[in-house]
A and B are shown apart, each in its own frame.
Chain A
Amino acid sequence: MKKRKRYIAWIFLAPSLIMYLYFFVYPTIEAVRLSFYKWSGFSKNMEFVGLKNFSKLISDDSFLAALKNTLLLLVIGGIGIFLLAFIFSLLLGSGIKGKKVYRAIIFFPFIIAPVVHSIYWGLLVYNPRTGMLNQLFKLLNIEILAKFTFTDIRHIFGSVLFVVIWSSVGFYLILLMAGIERIPPYLYEAARIEGATELKMFFKITLPLVKEVLVIAMIFWGINAIKMFDLLYAFGGILPPRSLWTNAIYLYIVGFGKRDPIFQLGYASAIGVATLLLVVIVAFIIRKLIRREIYEY
């Protein structure tokens, strides 16, 4: 009976498995294959160059700068998002009135298209002359900040990082709250009777019991951060400024050209393979760092 059930399960799995193989595994293998070639993508002329594309990555300043931005986005963005998500989840879980309204407000930026974010923040908020932020500081008579250029070559990455955190925190808040709401209230009641503070309850009850959801949420973020493209790409208007290049943007520029006809699809595939490896490494590290323990309650 068990064996029969297993066959049926395989039959039902087969269509999605085939699609997965065709739409994910096959292109991945193809990308790995292309990464060993010098190829423009236009003609059939492909020159086998072995590991040359990968050795070029190590000495390519543009790639290294893009990688640095990707890692900053992953780490700083991740810290910002999860810190805020935890703070909001604690506040919303503290019995505050209108919890659903606040949750919806925090979630709202997540449903806005990244291109809209880029136009709104780039032209309306950060504009050094007419932007809301500079105008606000002007009103408050904070001269230094009123003249601060949030989107110049030095500060644009930080400014966009803030937008990324602001627009993503709602999604991760929902994930964490789903985990937190599953924790039985009697655990907190017992802890309170024992005289535990809110902070102690967070570290001793909430965090350990939400660990499983947290791992999934962090892996989600890891993947999203490493492949993030749209918001950063759109932020530059015609062309993403160099300070905003991540692996994904650099891959696109090198592979498909953006005003400049670079068209190095083989090299772009090598960037893609390196990015995939980065995703695997990050997922592995997150799983190792936060070892899952099973709590039954």
Chain B
Amino acid sequence: MKKLFIWLLIATFAVSMVFMGIGCKKTEEAAAPAEEVEEEPAEEAAPAEEEVVGEPKTIVWWSLWNEQEPNAVVIKKWIEEYKKVKPEITIDIAFVGREVMTKVMAARSGGEVVDLVDTESYVLQGSLIKEGISLVMDEALDTPNYKGDGSWRDSFLSGTLEQHAANDGKVSVISYNLITNGFIYDKKLWNDNGWAAPKTWDEFLALCETIKTTSDIEPITQDAGVDFYNDMWNYQIMEKLKGPGALLAAVEDKTGKSWEDPAFKEGIELERELFDKGYFVEGCAGFTWPAGQLLLASGEAAMELCGSWLPCELKDQVSEDFEWGTFPFPEIAGGVGKITDMESYLIGWAAFNDTKVGPEIVDFLKFCTTADNQQIWVDETWNMSAILGTGIPPALEGLGKALLDSKALFSPHDGIPDVYPDYQKNIYLKNHNLAFLGEITPDEYVKLMKEETIAYWESQ
């Protein structure tokens, strides 16, 4: 009896270990092609010529949008329309929300197939491209677009494909949603009060003073509980003072000396001036998102510096007579940056290089990036598109025109999170937030940035 029991136990454990083994093996098998590809990435480029498709195939796409968002509604329309022209292709889409990469990571580790993912392009750059597991699209981009009236590459706004290319220049991210950054306000409220969009920093300060002294409206609202919202001020000021790339260059300076440039201190002083003069809404330092932006919607604050997603996000909260207005960040006297230097914040697709439906993905993405389909995106989501020939949503007219006229595009946070996400989170945003909220002085900020930059590079 005792022996029988012992054997029974051993057998049970053996079975469970076999199950565990199967689980591990599955994971390894699922990940194996990626490793093979990393050795020979050239073979995994998206095919230039479309294969003759006839047999049923499925593209598994995980998206950053949530099912109830207008963005997801448009995507479902695209899929429906595509099904009509290519019935043999099934687009198996999962709207998994903003933490899509975390979920994709877990799913693929567990052996689940995910062919295509869309999220912020810089996140794709910091994950799939950095790891060398993305499908290179260059060859496909040089083939005709969906309508066949030009190359697919020429469908995109200049610079948007290259913005998140790999170090060797290869393009894997097909960006479609174009976001920018600037001031957002209620045009009707401004017209009623005779306020005009400023073009220079001095005009901006004068406007804030006018709003503060001549109305019961507070000049600027800010969700100051969110560090990357606060940083919008710093990177915009630095773009205007030093031009695109200066912040990133300071991060990359291993000696930390670049931070001694007086412009970095000046940037913080300009931000603090807004606090000191009482231009930010009272109590904003204690706001938990979205308390700040709701003040813009309610008309208690005159403007907010934010991404161009804000009108779409707030459209259900504003009154019927609210008229959306936007203007770009003003120029600063003595700075090298122009008012036409605009942020380009992209959301795009990337496919995994172990996908078995590469040609189908290319065909589907060509379909999604036709000007007609992108116009639906613009109209229904109030976002801009990275595809040429699409219009600007009326709510974003000011920023949209400035973006299309722009001579120099820069990434959000000057591209720091694209390349050094841990530095961005643990050094730059941390110290900037302390300085922005007045917990440390501009001098202390510069000192901390210098010291921690040196320490960061020593630890690498």
Q: Which residues of A come within 8 Å of B, CB atoms?
A: 3-4, 7, 10-11, 14, 18, 21-22, 26, 40-45, 56, 59-62, 118, 122-123, 126-129, 147, 149-156, 235-239, 241-242, 253-254, 256-265
Q: How far is the CA of A10 from the CA of B290 in the complex (A)?
A: 55
Q: Which of B1-9, B242-250, B251-259 contacts its partner?
A: B1-9
| Chain A to chain B contacts (Cβ below 8 Å), 7 pairs | A22-B19, A42-B108, A127-B287, A151-B288, A156-B286, A235-B288, A259-B120
Assess whether B144 is interfacial by the CB under 8 Å rule: no
Inter-subunit contact B101/A257 (CB<8 Å): yes
Which one, B32, B290, B291, contacts A44 given CB within 8 A? B32
Assess whether B437 is interfacial by the CB under 8 Å rule: yes
Inter-subunit contact B437/A152 (CB<8 Å): yes
Q: How far is the CA of A59 from the CA of B426 in the complex (A)?
A: 12
Chain B residues in 8 Å Cβ range of A42:
105, 108, 127-128, 131, 133
Chain B residues in 8 Å Cβ range of A11:
5, 8
Which one, A40, A154, A237, A254, contacts B288 given CB within 8 A? A237
Chain A residues in 8 Å Cβ range of B28:
44
Measured between C-beta atoms, what is the minimum distance from B278 to chain A in Å? Answer: 13
Q: How far is the CA of A41 from the CA of B225 in the complex (A)?
A: 30
Secondary structure call for the B interface = helix
Assess whether B167 is interfacial by the CB under 8 Å rule: no
Chain B residues in 8 Å Cβ range of A128:
282-283, 285-287
Assess whether B422 is interfacial by the CB under 8 Å rule: yes
Which one, B9, B101, B226, B439, contacts A14 given CB within 8 A? B9
Q: How far is the CA of A176 from the CA of B16 in the complex (A)?
A: 39
Taking CB as reference atom, which chain A residue is nearest B4?
A: A7
| Given pairs A10-B9, A42-B131, 19 additional interface contacts (CB within 8 A) | A10-B5, A14-B12, A22-B16, A42-B108, A42-B127, A44-B28, A44-B35, A56-B459, A62-B430, A149-B286, A151-B286, A152-B286, A153-B434, A235-B288, A236-B289, A241-B225, A256-B99, A256-B101, A260-B417
Annotate B79-101 by CB proximity to A: 1 below 8 A, 0 otherwise. 00000000000000000000101
Measured between C-beta atoms, what is the minimum distance from A247 to chain B in Å? Answer: 15
A43 and B132 contact, Cβ closer than 8 Å, known pairs A126-B286, A152-B437: yes
A4 and B289 contact, Cβ closer than 8 Å, known pairs A238-B226, A260-B417: no
Inter-subunit contact B20/A241 (CB<8 Å): no
Inter-subunit contact B285/A149 (CB<8 Å): yes
Which one, B12, B120, B289, contacts A238 given CB within 8 A? B289
A43 and B421 contact, Cβ closer than 8 Å, known pairs A126-B288, A257-B102: no
Chain A residues in 8 Å Cβ range of B424:
260
Q: How far is the CA of A194 from the CA of B64 in the complex (A)?
A: 70
Annotate B239-277 by CB proximity to A: 1 below 8 A, 0 otherwise. 000000000000000000000000000000000000000
